[in-house]
Amino acid sequence: MPAVDNILFSRRRAERFAQLLDEANGGRRHHVRSRVDDQLAPLVAVGQRLSAERPSVEVDPEFRTGLRAMLLATAEREGLGTPAASTAADPDGKRTTGSTRGSLLPAVTARRARARGAILVGIAAGAVAVSGISAASENAVPGDALYGMKRSTERAQLALASSDISRGQLFLDFARTRLGEAAELRGDQVGFSAVLDDMDADTRQGVRLLTTTAVQRSDAAGLDAVNTFVTGQRRAVSDLLDGAGRADRERTRRSLTLLDAVRERSDALRAAIGCGLPAPVASDTLGPAPASCPADR
């Protein structure tokens, strides 16, 4: 029965954590001690700190909306806020619970609901705190303490994106971000080259998603986003050449070559969509590779 014991122990820990957190916030004290109190004390302290020390950075309204929707969905799935089923009564007005255990079920259910509610509150507070840290990491560059948080936030954004178009646009936004980091790392040959490698990888990922969607839908709207990106990005990448050493200049030109290839691919796909060619079968790192329109052959 070790699995059952582990489940019961986890539930008791959660219920005790809910009690301690409630007491710490001024709730009714439970004049009992548990053997796990010492283990839970650091978590209770973190919970208090998260509630007292709100992040100074403004949280994105879209994040708040998404977090609220997630918590409401979790609460509904877990049955939080749902009243316990009332017990039936016999004609004499007495409850008809079959056993003492049955009469305890509503109380047990309420304790579990409070425990789950406390955990959800902790998750919410932690998520808001993390969002503040994420915002503070926006200007981090490779080597900074918060850079890992910055990249983790980007991966989370990709995971939450609702479509390939959204993911493609996010990748292009990340490529712009990598460009800003590269500007801060000029003179650091290794760091500068590594950031441009990441920038080019983000560019390819974003372009591939947007060009593929454009071809599948026979809609050039995604290509408009690609061309807008290339125009601004190429100008900014060219600025990296000013005052750069030989190695940095050579690496920068490789990124410019990639942007030229992206623009050429976008224009070719736009022409193929315009003349009604079927979706290309061949593809590469930039997405579908179209054939030429009949008039151009």
Per-residue pLDDT of the chain (297 residues; tens, 9 = 90+): 444 444 445 566 777 777 777 777 666 666 567 766 777 777 777 666 665 555 555 556 666 666 666 666 666 665 555 554 544 445 454 554 445 555 555 555 555 655 555 555 555 544 444 444 555 567 788 888 888 889 888 998 998 898 999 999 999 999 999 999 999 998 898 999 999 999 999 999 999 999 999 999 999 989 999 999 999 999 999 999 998 899 999 999 999 999 999 999 999 999 999 888 888 888 999 999 988 887 654
Q: Looking at the domain assignment, is residue 232 inside a domain? A: yes
- 188 and 119, same structural domain? no
Specify whether 113 is located in the same domain as 162: no
Answer yes or no: do 151 and 116 share one domain. no
Q: Are 265 and 211 in contact (CB under 8 A)?
A: yes
- Residue 283 pairs with which residues in a beta bridge? 288
pLDDT at res. 73? 66
126 shares a domain with 34 = yes
Same domain, 43 and 112: yes
156/291 same-domain check: yes
pLDDT, position 251: 96
Residue 90 lies in a domain: no
Residues 108 and 184 in one domain: no
Q: How far is CA 119 from CA 74, 85, 125, in A?
A: 11, 23, 10
Distance of alpha carbon 143 from alpha carbon 28, whole angstroms = 47
Residue 178 lies in a domain: yes
Tell me, yes or no, whether 161 and 277 share the same domain: yes
Q: Are residues 198 and 284 in the same domain?
A: yes
Q: How many domains does the chain have?
A: 2
Q: Which domain holds residue 216?
A: 147-296
- What residues contact 172, with CB distance under 8 A and at least 6 apart? 202, 203, 206, 207, 210, 225, 226, 229
pLDDT of residue 129: 42
pLDDT for 184: 92
User: The whole model's pTM is what?
Assistant: 0.58
Kindly state whether residue 235 falls inside one of the protein's structural domains. yes
Q: Are residues 154 and 283 located together in one domain of the fold?
A: yes
Residue 81 pLDDT: 53
Asked if residue 178 and residue 132 are part of one domain, the reply reads: no
The answer to the question of residue 246 being in a domain is: yes
Residue 95 lies inside a defined structural domain of this protein: no
Chain CA centroid to CA 93, Å: 54
Strands 283-284 and 287-288: antiparallel
Same domain, 156 and 61: no
The predicted structure's pLDDT at residue 149: 86
- Let me know if residue 177 belongs to a domain: yes
57 is a domain residue: yes
